[in-house]
Structure 1
Amino acid sequence: MTQSIKVGVLNDMADIADLKDGDPGPGDVTGWLEREIEAVRKSGRLSAPVEFVHAYGLGLPSGTAEAVERAYRQLADAGVGLIVGPAIGDNALVATPLAEELRIPTINWAGAERARGRYMFHHQVGSHEDESLVMARHMAALGCRRLGVVYDISPIGTRHLKYLQDEANILGIAIVATEGISPLADDASEEAGKVLPAQPDGFVYLGLGLSAPGVAAALTGAEWKGPRIMNTAGLRGYHGSFAKACDGWFYIDMHSDSNRTLQAVMAELSAPRQQALAIAKGHDIGRLVAEGLARAKDFSREGVRVGLEQIKWLPAAEGEEGTLLGFGIQDRGALHGRYLVVRQWMNGETVEVTSQP
């Protein structure tokens, strides 16, 4: 196969006007794509040149859905055969109908299970549906029977809340109070003040995470001592002061200390354990792209779509040991098995918690 292919990288976490020259922007995965493509190239399974085309559209919640659509169409007009992104669930939902309309195979790496289709593939960096189930079961295992919830007023927060309520009903847990909050709020004292009088014995935050430190501060200010958990919003603890602000909180992560694939990659890179999440995520995204291209019979958009469907049973760096990576003819979720891991922020460090059934 001698033809070349363009791969689009859609960054929904930055506006190009805010980037310095040469700055790839937050969350850029191009290096991982290049690394895994080079690995299949060295194996002799891919000889064609691969060109990366970047587009930036600051999406929700800080930006707009229109910016994401503009960036997606920019990549389409550039003639890409595959798009990687968006990374935020709300924006993946914006991009999904575009992938179907324009028939461009796309791999989003977000938490929205609804962001799937014939052309939209989903690498689950969290899940609005699965995370809530894991959180409910973990709180049940801790003995909680009355949960209070503060959730972002957004597709992410409301979707999490629905699935948390469904699983809580099955487990015999009562959700005694819920309060919505702006995804951009930095003060949650009013919302927490409405939930705590219902006397919950466990507390849940659901959302993107920008408002989570405010929720944590409100509980601390109220001297509330019960167990507390949040969704993959807790991944923000890998940067800045978030981990300190949310000390003691359980949260859903994507990497496990037991994962041998992850440990092998980290050893190869001589990487510190603080980089485990970024490495697990980057490796798996890169491998999906590289394997999809290597398995494609041609680099038309249809050819790449079929190539992605041929990825089967690869060991994932994310999740617990045994998590598998792949797609299928009607399977658009990349991660299979126990890909969600309960961890806890303790004194600025992330600690894995024994998984619950």
Structure 2
Amino acid sequence: MRTVDPVRVGILIDYVAETATPAALIQSVFAFVARELREQGVLERDVEFVTEAVKGLPEGSFRAVRDAYYRLVDAGCVAAFGPYISENGAPLREDVENLAEVPILTVAGTETMLGEWVFGLPAGSMEEEPIIMAQVAWYDGCRSAGLVYEDSLIGHEYLRSARAACAALGIRVTGEVAVMQVEQEKRAAMAQLAEHKPDAILHVGFGLGLLGINKALAELGWMPRRYTTTAFEMASGNAMWRNEIAGWIGLDQYDERNEVARDFFKRYNAATGSTEVYYLPALWYDVGRMLLTAVATARPLTGRGVKEALERIKMMPAATGAPGTRMRFGKFIRHGWVGSEFLVARRVLDDASAIVMHGTIEGLVPPAG
């Protein structure tokens, strides 16, 4: 009997934490998706996942990410997931586009990364997250805010959007302070914002700039409402991060009301023995289905064939976000989420014991326009 070679798909990990990398979870969920598609008769060939895990920006280098991408190309991958950090994805776009051979699907939030060969299911959005944050803060009764932004590519993208979002709602910005995209002392920055005592603090950035803010505010004896981006998701399953952002309200991609997500976790946890139920496995499930559906339907099975197959995927129900969120691409569509609630607001309880859906003050209506 003739053997059929597996098709190769790349996984490019560009953020390696000191304690662990997400490679094992991504590989597990992608393999689960591949098995289901094989059982359904959608995917005809086995899939071999080729993983490159490197330390990219903000704590490593972009060159490591660029070199990892070319190694995946040389390994014969017809498509790749990653990178997922915007500081790495934005400059990598030029290499991917110039090569015009292997498409990538990213969860990075910057739209500057998207292109003919670069598709996105962003884990947030520099353009949209501040709009949602400002709306939630407004509903919570906040009419003034201090902005904390990380001094980085995405921090400045977020800041521009946060200013516009606050202005659109009539939220007065009382001050702006920059923090480094690495852990540092935050008391001086928080003291600067505290001079005007705004109703809220809005933090925008990758997330490492959150470390130490609660401590600094406690030392100052000032604890206003606090809002952040999808950096909030680092608290999922991580006790250290829950303690760091106890009392914060942030944006998440998991919504327990989503039946697609519930059905996925029931099947995946039964198959793997996992008990975890949070945003990340659901996000990798959505990314894996989009990527492997394109691989399965590519004609021919080349990088260009996968790119064109991604463009044909329409209205796939998503496990990510609120009920009704869907996914699709197109010839001039590279942002894959369909629906206004692919992000939802959640809150870490003040004692850091749990993360819950965030309720807002009833009876408030945002201003027109």
- TM-score with structure 2 length normalisation? 0.90
1:53-202 equivalences under 5 Å are 53-103=50-100, 104-202=102-200
Distance, in Å, in 2 between the alignment partners of 1:352 and 1:332 is 29
CA offsets, 1:76-123, max 9 Å, x none?
Answer: 222221011012121121222121111121001222222210000001
CA contact (8 A) 2:183 2:211 kept: no
CA contact (8 A) 1:262 1:279 kept: no
Distance, in Å, in 1 between the alignment partners of 2:153 and 2:42 is 40
Distance, in Å, in 1 between the alignment partners of 2:115 and 2:5 is 27
CA offsets, 1:1-55, max 9 Å, x none?
Answer: x67522111110139xx89xxx8x3354122211112211111122123222222
The residue number in structure 2 matching 1:301 is 303
Q: Which runs of 5+ in 2 are unaligned?
A: none
Distance, in Å, in 2 between the alignment partners of 1:266 and 1:3 is 31
CA offsets, 1:266-292, max 9 Å, x none?
Answer: 222258875321221121111111211
CA contact (8 A) 1:187 1:211 kept: no
3-state SS in 1 of match to 2:356: strand
Distance, in Å, in 2 between the alignment partners of 1:218 and 1:305 is 48
3-state SS in 1 of match to 2:293: helix
Distance, in Å, in 2 between the alignment partners of 1:272 and 1:323 is 25
1:33-44 equivalences under 5 Å are 33-44=30-41
Distance, in Å, in 2 between the alignment partners of 1:58 and 1:327 is 30
Deviates more, 1:195-204 or 1:266-275: 266-275
Distance, in Å, in 2 between the alignment partners of 1:312 and 1:343 is 29
| Aligned: 1:340 with 2:354 | no
Identity of aligned residues (%): 28
3-state SS in 2 of match to 1:211: helix
Distance, in Å, in 1 between the alignment partners of 2:72 and 2:196 is 50
Distance, in Å, in 2 between the alignment partners of 1:109 and 1:225 is 32
RMSD: 2.1
Q: Judging changes above 3 Å, is the alpha-carbon distance between structure 1 residues 105 and 245 closer, same or farther for their aligned structure 2 residues? A: same
Kindly tell me the number of residue pairs found equivalent between the two proteins: 350
Residue 246 of structure 1 and its aligned partner are, at CA, apart by 1.1
- TM-score with structure 1 length normalisation? 0.92
Q: Judging changes above 3 Å, is the alpha-carbon distance between structure 1 residues 93 and 176 closer, same or farther for their aligned structure 2 residues? A: same
Distance, in Å, in 2 between the alignment partners of 1:285 and 1:151 is 29
CA contact (8 A) 1:4 1:299 kept: no
The residue number in structure 1 matching 2:286 is 284
